[in-house]
């Protein structure tokens, strides 16, 4: 009768159990439960070494995948600008949440009379400023709701172009018809442009527009509240509709899309800077 097998790691311990992978005898101390039977410690370690640990995905990468790179980037830029204005407010002795009382806000918000005096950059920089944390959060939430779908439909480059043209359209409306000395800021004009863009795409695809029109009507009513720029919202909406309409009409010609958006942007800039505004007429 052959002698009983002994554990390959402990030769003084007889055993009748063998590893289900390598068939070596193992004692109770060396048994590692497996899906079928037991395995020896060496085979378990070898199996773990062959399994690659999942690499953690950086938060920024996860955000880009979920919301789209441009949408995530726009949110990041707006938040970063808000932080800069908050720090700027603190530097002159104001609370950080009173960011509109900062030198940075004063320098870059859209003030029609200052644009007439040559500070052209305010036409676009004002779209990345916000008046307080609530203003920022509401606009960024709206961007995260509507932006990803549009970015998916248009592609990142066209989507970014529509966003910027819409922001410029809102600035033009404020420049032509707004109060000369009132500072205006916020991404709302661009967001209204995105709503208009979504409407154009849904119309081209023969989708039901009732839900979108209801939402748009509610937002237009909100635009009549004190402190809200109705002009900026309507200007952004019109610009977004025009920009996306050009994209739809020239969708088979890439150069035509770029030329159309460039021409529309040029017209908006001319309207803002060359057409006499109430500010210029009054000589303010």
For 69-88, what is each residue's pLDDT tens digit?
A: 999 999 999 999 999 999 99
- Asked about 142 being catalytic, the answer comes back as no
Out of 3.10.350.10, 1.20.1540.10, 3.20.20.70, 1.10.10.10, select the CATH number for domain 67-282. Answer: 1.20.1540.10
Q: What's the pLDDT at 163?
A: 97
Residues above pLDDT 70, as percent of the chain: 88
Q: What's the pLDDT at 284?
A: 47
- Quick check: 262 pLDDT over 60? yes
Lowest mean pLDDT among 67-76, 88-97, 271-280: 271-280
Lowest mean pLDDT among 109-118, 205-214, 251-260, 265-274: 251-260
Convert the pLDDT of each residue in 174-214 to its tens digit: 999 988 889 999 999 999 999 999 999 999 888 888 888 88
Convert the pLDDT of each residue in 209-249 to its tens digit: 888 888 888 877 777 766 678 899 999 999 999 999 999 88
Q: Exactly one of 188, 223, 229, 265 is catalytic; name it.
A: 188
Q: What's the pLDDT at 237?
A: 95
Q: What's the pLDDT at 63?
A: 65
- Quick check: 32 pLDDT over 90? no
Domain parsing of the chain, residue ranges:
1-53, 67-282
Q: Which residue has the higher pLDDT, 53 or 205?
A: 205
Q: What's the pLDDT at 49?
A: 63
DSSP string, the chain: -PPPPB-SS-TTSB-S-B-TTT--B--GGG-EE-SSSEE-HHHHHHHHHTSPPPPPPPHHHHHHHHH-HHHHHHHHHHHHHHHHHHHHHHHTT--TT-GGGSHHHHHHSB-HHHHHTT-TTHHHHGGG--SSHHHHHHHHHHHHHHHHHHHHHH-HHHHHHHHHHHHHHHHHHHHHHS-TT--B--SHHHHHHHHHHHHHHHHHTT---HHHHHHHHHHHHHTTSTT--HHHHHHHHHHHHHHHHHHHHTTT-HHHHHHHHHHHHHHHHHHHHTS--HHHHHT-
Q: Exactly one of 109, 130, 142, 233 is catalytic; name it.
A: 233
- Asked about 188 being catalytic, the answer comes back as yes
- Quick check: 95 pLDDT over 90? yes
Q: How confident is the model at residue 13 (pLDDT cuts 50, 70, 90)?
A: confident
Instruction: Name the pairing type of β-strands 32-33 and 38-39.
Output: antiparallel
- Quick check: 55 pLDDT over 80? no
Average of per-residue pLDDT values in the chain: 87
Q: What's the pLDDT at 1?
A: 53
Q: What's the pLDDT at 56?
A: 61
Q: How confident is the model at residue 264 (pLDDT cuts 50, 70, 90)?
A: very high
């Amino acid at each position: 009768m052959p002698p009983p097998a002994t554990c390959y790691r402990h030769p003084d311990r007889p055993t009748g159990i063998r590893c289900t992978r390598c068939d070596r005898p193992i004692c109770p101390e060396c048994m590692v439960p497996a899906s079928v039977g037991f395995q020896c410690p060496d085979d378990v370690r070898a199996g773990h070494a062959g399994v690659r640990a999942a690499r953690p995905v950086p938060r920024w990468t996860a955000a880009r995948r979920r919301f789209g790179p441009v949408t995530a980037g726009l949110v990041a830029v707006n938040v970063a600008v808000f932080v800069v204005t908050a720090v700027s407010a603190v530097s002159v002795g104001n609370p950080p949440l009173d960011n509109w009382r900062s030198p940075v806000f004063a320098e870059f918000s859209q003030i029609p009379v200052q644009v007439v005096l040559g500070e052209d950059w305010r036409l676009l920089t004002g779209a990345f400023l916000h008046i307080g944390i609530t203003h920022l959060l509401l606009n960024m939430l709206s961007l995260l709701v509507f932006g990803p779908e549009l970015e998916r439909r248009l592609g990142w480059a066209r989507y970014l172009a529509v966003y910027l043209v819409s922001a410029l359209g809102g600035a033009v409306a404020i420049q032509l018809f707004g109060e000369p000395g009132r500072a205006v800021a916020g991404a709302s004009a661009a967001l209204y442009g995105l709503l208009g863009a979504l409407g154009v795409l849904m119309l081209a695809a023969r989708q039901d527009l009732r839900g979108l029109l209801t939402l748009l009507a509610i937002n237009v009513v909100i635009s009549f509240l004190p402190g809200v720029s109705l002009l900026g919202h309507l200007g952004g909406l019109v610009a977004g509709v025009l920009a996306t309409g050009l994209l739809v009409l020239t969708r088979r010609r890439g150069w035509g899309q770029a030329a159309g958006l460039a021409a529309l942007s040029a017209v908006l800039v001319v309207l803002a800077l060359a057409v006499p505004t109430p500010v210029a007429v009054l000589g303010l």
